[in-house]
Amino acid sequence: MSNIAIRRAVEADLGLMRRLWDEFSAEATYTPYPPGAFDPAHVRDHVALVAEEGGEAIGTVYANLSSPDFGYVFGVYTVPGARGRGVGRELIRAVARLLREQGRDWIVLSVDTPNEDARAFYERLGFDDSARMLRAPVDRLLGD
């Protein structure tokens, strides 16, 4: 992780963060519905961190801190050319440090079941499978 810096994203980074969100969404969508669009509130209302190397953005993570007990992490992304070098791990650790400073004890996140690489990554970091997100088509529930 030499020469990699992690910093908080600011309003001036909205274009950069949108681009990286779009790259992430194009690559990591496993649900049967389209991914959510980038929302400037991801930066304005949550914690948004960007990893940089040589002045170039190579990864992002967002954390919703609306719960007093945990931070909900989303949008963890490392650009393909920087993978396997610990960028994702350091982004998660940066969120963990922030949460510890605020007296929060947990990081929570969701990962789609078919995304085996991401699930393995989170397990290596120490995450446990503790909840399930279920989905059903509306038409099935209405019997149409």
Cα–Cα distances (Å) from 21 to 16, 24, 102, 121, 130, in that order, read: 9, 5, 26, 19, 26
Per-residue confidence in pLDDT tens, the chain, 144 aa: 568 999 999 999 999 999 999 999 998 766 788 888 999 999 999 999 999 999 999 999 999 999 999 999 999 999 999 999 999 999 999 999 999 999 999 999 998 888 888 999 999 999 999 988 888 889 999 986
Q: Based on the structure, what is the number of domains in the chain?
A: 1
- Cβ atoms of 92 and 125 within 8 Å: the answer is yes
The CATH number of whichever domain residue 73 belongs to comes to 3.40.630.30
Instruction: Tell me which residue range forms the domain holding 47.
Output: 4-142
Q: Given this model, what pLDDT does residue 40 score?
A: 97
Q: Given this model, what pLDDT does residue 73 score?
A: 97
Q: Given this model, what pLDDT does residue 2 score?
A: 64
The two tokens of residue 87 are 């960028």
Supply angle C-alpha 65, 124, 3, rounded to 5: 75
Q: Given this model, what pLDDT does residue 28 score?
A: 76
